Amino acid sequence: MLEGKLVNLRPLERDDLDREFQWVNDTDVTRYLGMRYPVSKAQEEQWLNSRPANDFGNTALAIETKDGVHIGNIGLHEGQPENRKASLGIMIGDKDYWSNGYGTDAIVTLLRFAFHEMNMNRVWLHVYAFNERAIACYKKCGFVIEGTLRENSYREGRYIDAITMGILRAEFESLHAKGESDA
Amino acid sequence: MLEGRLVRLRALEPGDLEACYRWMNDREVTHFLAMTYPMSYADEQGYIERVSSSDYTKGVSLAIETKDGSVHIGNISLENPHAEHRTAAFGIAIGEKDYWSNGYGTDAIVTFLSFGFQEMNLNRVSLHVFEFNERAQACYKKCGFQVEGRLRENYYAEGRYWDVIVMGILRDEFDALHSKTG
């Protein structure tokens, strides 16, 4: 388990299914994600049950408040050992916990793990241009805007741009002191 | 394909089976390798199939070929790479005995280490070598490996125990010895 200030990141378990199923079918949640089709319970169960163990290539964790409420998931994907980089994805599925610093704390906690334990050099992400709340959060964590992928996705009847953001290990170190348990 | 001065390193092909099988059943060759049992043709074939495609997770095993005459003289490998620790275990066999002690192994090793550090982004490469294999130890030292330890009586062959020497090289050490652009 990875300890943050407000949240812990723990492995996903099979009995997380009901919450996962609810979140990935909530369009308030999925409109910000790369998901558009309704997901069956069987499909979600299969995803949860057949996930390989977390490793350098792919790590997915549950975000839990210090009170033990599972509020969303976070992960590092497409890990490339030679390039020492991975993409970050996060979903706060429980809307009551939006905009309260939980996501920021989860991201900083996972970035620390990525840089200090997995030995990554770069973490990157794509975010829809209209998702200003998320972009502000990523910036707070230290991500830098690196570009705009024009009309990269089609959602809700129109093409939308994706913002590509990244953070390097050296940048993370200078923002978040090495041993400290965080800002 | 990786180009050295004397050798090139290329992927293993099914057609390499005959030579590999011959080497792995030549006691003068396997004397220096951690191979106790004779290896069947089918086992060797399975091995070549398994290692003929390389990636970081599976490791990298390549054929060593002379640039002069394209003779396949041995194999070289980086095994068990760890993504987090950026370490891997090194191994080499020159199966064609006519090519021993002529700098081919050294050139293959330096070429391969350069790939390991510059392309695979490793930080450390280590190896085990038998105490009685002094020729290999001299070669590894020439390449920049340092002796890091001695595993006492770690190997049994020919009726007795032998010590195993642990050697390692770090990326900084390699870069200092061998110019970065190669």
pLDDT in tens, B40-67: 999 999 999 999 889 999 999 999 999 9
The strand pair at A158-168 and B2-3 is best described as: unpaired
Q: How far is Cα B167 from Cα A109, in angstroms, rounded to an integer?
A: 37
Number of Cβ within a 10 Å radius of residue B84: 13
Q: What are phi and psi of B82, to 5 degrees?
A: -105, 120
pLDDT in tens, B138-179: 999 999 999 999 999 999 998 899 999 999 999 999 999 987
Q: How far is Cα A76 from Cα A90, in angstroms, rounded to an integer?
A: 9
Closest to A172 in 3D by CA, of A117, A103, A114: A114
The mean pLDDT of B118-142, rounded to a whole number, is 97
Closest to A60 in 3D by CA, of A98, A4, A106: A106
| Shortest Cα distance, chain A CAs vs residue B108, angstroms | 21
Closest to A131 in 3D by CA, of A110, A105, A103, A109: A103
B56 contacts A79? CB cut-off 8 A: no
ipTM of the complex model: 0.74
Q: How far is Cα A153 from Cα B17, in angstroms, rounded to an integer?
A: 50
A81 contacts B56? CB cut-off 8 A: yes
Cα A133 to chain centroid distance, Å, stands at 14
Q: Measured between alpha carbons, how far apart are the two ends of chain B, in Å?
A: 15
Residue-level pLDDT at B182: 47
| CA-to-CA dists, residue B108 to B2, B111, B172, angstroms | 9, 5, 19
Interface test with B, best of A113, A119, A121, A122 (most B CBs within 10 A): A119
Residues of A in contact with B56 (CB under 8 A): 81-82
The mean pLDDT of A128-134, rounded to a whole number, is 97
Chain A residue nearest residue B58, CA to CA: A81
A82 contacts B86? CB cut-off 8 A: no
Instruction: Compare CB distances from A84 to B81, B119, B121 and report the shortest one's residue.
Output: B121
Chain B residue nearest residue A81, CA to CA: B83
User: Is residue A59 within 8 Å of residue A75, measured between CB atoms?
Assistant: yes
Residue-level pLDDT at B122: 97
| Mean pLDDT, chain B, integer | 94
Residue-level pLDDT at B180: 57
Q: How far is Cα A72 from Cα A4, in angstroms, rounded to an integer?
A: 14
Number of Cβ within a 10 Å radius of residue B107: 20
At A178, is the pLDDT very low, low, confident or very high (cuts 50, 70, 90)? Answer: low
Instruction: Compare CB distances from A82 to B84, B85, B120 and report the shortest one's residue.
Output: B120
- Percent of chain A exceeding pLDDT 90 equals 90
Residues of A in contact with B86 (CB under 8 A): 81, 119
Radius of gyration of chain A (CA): 16
At A180, is the pLDDT very low, low, confident or very high (cuts 50, 70, 90)? Answer: low
At B85, is the pLDDT very low, low, confident or very high (cuts 50, 70, 90)? Answer: very high
Interface test with A, best of B55, B56, B123 (most A CBs within 10 A): B56
The mean pLDDT of B15-24, rounded to a whole number, is 95
Using the 8-state DSSP alphabet, how is residue B100 labeled? T
Chain A residue set in contact with B, beta carbons under 8 Å: 55-57, 79, 81-84, 117-119
Residue A115: CA count within 13 A, CB half-sphere:
22
Which of residues A35 and B107 earns the better pLDDT score? B107
Residue-level pLDDT at A183: 43
Closest to B11 in 3D by CA, of B21, B2, B20: B2
Chain B residue nearest residue A117, CA to CA: B84
Closest to A32 in 3D by CA, of A125, A96, A106, A115: A125
| CA-to-CA dists, residue A30 to A11, A33, A47, A97, B55, angstroms | 22, 5, 17, 16, 35
Render B35-82 in DSSP notation, one character per residue. Answer: --S---HHHHHHHHHHHSS-BTTTBEEEEEEETTT--EEEEEEEEEEE
Residue-level pLDDT at A97: 97
